[in-house]
Chains A and B, each alone.
Chain A
Amino acid sequence: MTVADEKKALICLIAGLLRDCNHVAVGAASPIPGAAALLAKAAWGSPRHVNILGSVANNFFTGGGGELFDCAAQGRIDAFFLGGGQIDGEANINLMGRGPYPTSAPRWPGTFGSAYLYFLIPKVILFREEHTRRTLVEKVDFISAPGVSDEKIYRKGGPYGLITSKAFFMFNRKKRRFSLLSIHPGSSLEDILDNTGFAFDYEETTPVTPPPDPELLKLLEMDVSRPVAEVYPNFSATIFPVT
């Protein structure tokens, strides 16, 4: 598989996770999740609403920058995506930087809305393409947003799973632990054990991630590539070469 094929497979995989959603919001710099949300909407009409932050054409909010957060707190957003420079085995995420705060080196942009949205959106899909011990760590250096909270804490949402370029993990909030659901073609259980810095549950017979449905892939290439290009021109140029 080429790199472009791998990215398209990730888009199709993520699209399938959004079918049960009414409203999916996507951060400005998340082309693969953004493309997945647009694809799911085109394929199944579900999610009905896709909101891409920072986009003009694909952002229907009229109440200003705070509307997303009010929506989330009211339960009006079903799924969202978070990443991070580090993600640990308890699904804590670090968007701040490596090393001791505040003199982080490197410093990453910052926490954005993660410290809030992680608590309030039911299905938060963690997405980080780089699958190495540098990004998937035992314990994050800075908790931008915690993966789990005590029962006394008001929490309506949290981590659903983690998708990387190598695998798909589900998160078990009771056990506070990831379990390996499937391994993408081109990787293996050994490869994943070698490159994951945190412990997780797995079966020796973990299945391979199924290939994208050909119809869905066709829809992505034929119809959805255009709106994807409007929102993420540079990304689009890398996976949908101009013919």
Chain B
Amino acid sequence: MPAEYSDLSISDFASAIPDGAKLAIPADYAGVSMAATRALIRRKAKNLHLVGVPTSGLQAELLIGAGCVATLESSALTLGEYGPAPRFTKAVREGSIHLIDATCPAIHAGLQASQKGIPFMPLRGILGSDVLKHHPGWKVIQNPFSESEDPIVAIPAIQPDIALFHAPLADRDGNVWLGRKRELVNMSHASKTAFVTVDAICETSLFETEEMAAGVLPTLYVGEIYHAPNGSWPLPFWNGAKVDDAHMQEYMKMAASDAGFNEYLERYVYGESAMA
């Protein structure tokens, strides 16, 4: 954990995420590191395995469009009211990415199994769904505690290499404050390490008061931190920014064609390093 965050550039941060990494990423409303996403595209990351916790949106859409993704494991990829995600829709139609479609609680359960270091977590529901039929890992087992027939789905542990997200605050010891977004804690506990961009660096310890400490991810789980104010742009952030509505509408227009999407990358992704 570097003590001086200023030593690290966002390019260094993204370069520390290797090709082929399995990345746990949060839903669009939970704190997505779009700053790191753009840096991953700039460094032409390849063969990423994204795990949407429990869904993904613009982040996966951009990475898929830019050719960085081999596998998308998620319960959904949604841009909400902006409509169908154009690059994702195209990739699915052309079969150019490997899909592991799940259901939200199964993603949480798979991470929970990893947190506990156990092979699987049983989960109710799901039986009779085509999601179960097509999922490569889930198995139906008999409830070992029931004397009558009681099938239940076993969800294997999901252990991502890196949990990647955006949070409001980190201190100089590498602790990260994420309030009540406990899914970010679960993601980080389940993953081998966590890479976090933050809006601000706090000069005092986040453990100084119990009120703050209750929402802290301890440095034990954190690999890299990068100070990226408004790092979720153009997505909304629960602790600040609203969605950049005009930008999202512009994205939808541009991403409708291959040429338009490439122009989008030129303008807002490759162009960003020059701006910074």
In the complex, the answer to whether B92 meets A110 with C-beta atoms within 8 Å is no
Contact code string A77-106 (vs B, CB < 8 Å = 1, else 0): 000000000000000000111000111111
- List CB contacts (< 8 Å) of A59-91 with chain B: 61-67, 69, 73
Interface residues of A in 90-145 (CB under 8 A from B): 95-97, 101-120, 142-145
Contact of A66 among B30, B102, B112, B180 (CB under 8 A): B112
Contacts of A142 in B (CB 8 A): 130
**Number of inter-chain CB pairs below 8 Å:** 150
Contact of A110 among B74, B109, B125, B132 (CB under 8 A): B74
- Residue B219 at the A interface, CB < 8 A? no
Contact B74 A101 (CB under 8 A): no
User: How many residues of chain B have a CB within 8 Å of chain A?
Assistant: 55
Residues of A within 8 A of B184 (CB): 64
Q: Which residue of B lies closest to A105 (CB)?
A: B93
B77 interfacial contact with A, CB 8 Å: yes
B271 at the interface (CB under 8 A from A): no
A3 within 8 A of B: no
Tell me, yes or no, whether B2 is within 8 Å of chain A by CB. no
Question: Which residues from A are CB-within-8-Å of B144?
Answer: none
CB closest residue in chain A, given B28: A54
Q: Does B54 contact A (CB under 8 A)?
A: yes
Q: Within residues 1 to 51 of chain A, which ones have a CB less than 8 A from any CB in chain B?
A: 28-29
B-side binding surface: helix, strand, loop or mixed?
mixed
| Binary per-residue interface labels of chain B (167-207) against chain A in the complex, 1 for a CB within 8 Å, 0 otherwise | 00000000000001111111000000000000000000000
- Nearest residue (CB) in A for B80 is A29
Are B124 and A120 in contact, CB atoms less than 8 angstroms apart?
yes
Q: How many residues of A contact B (CB 8 A)?
A: 46
Chain B neighbourhood of A174, CB < 8 A: none
Beta-carbon contacts under 8 Å, A140-172 to B: 142-146, 149, 152-154
Are B101 and A103 touching (Cβ within 8 A)? no
Instruction: Indicate if B258 sits at the interface (CB-CB under 8 A).
Output: no
Q: Which residues of B contact A62 (CB under 8 A)?
A: 180, 182
Residues from chain B with Cβ under 8 Å of A67 in the complex: 182
Judged by a CB distance under 8 angstroms, whether B21 is at the interface is no
* A-side contacts of B105, CB under 8 Å: 66, 69, 113, 116
**A residues whose Cβ falls under 8 Å from a Cβ of B:** 28-29, 54, 56, 61-67, 69, 73, 95-97, 101-120, 142-146, 149, 152-154, 234
Task: Give 7 new A-B contacts, CB below 8 A, not counting A73-B124, A106-B93, A116-B123.
Answer: A64-B184, A66-B112, A101-B134, A105-B92, A110-B55, A118-B125, A144-B131
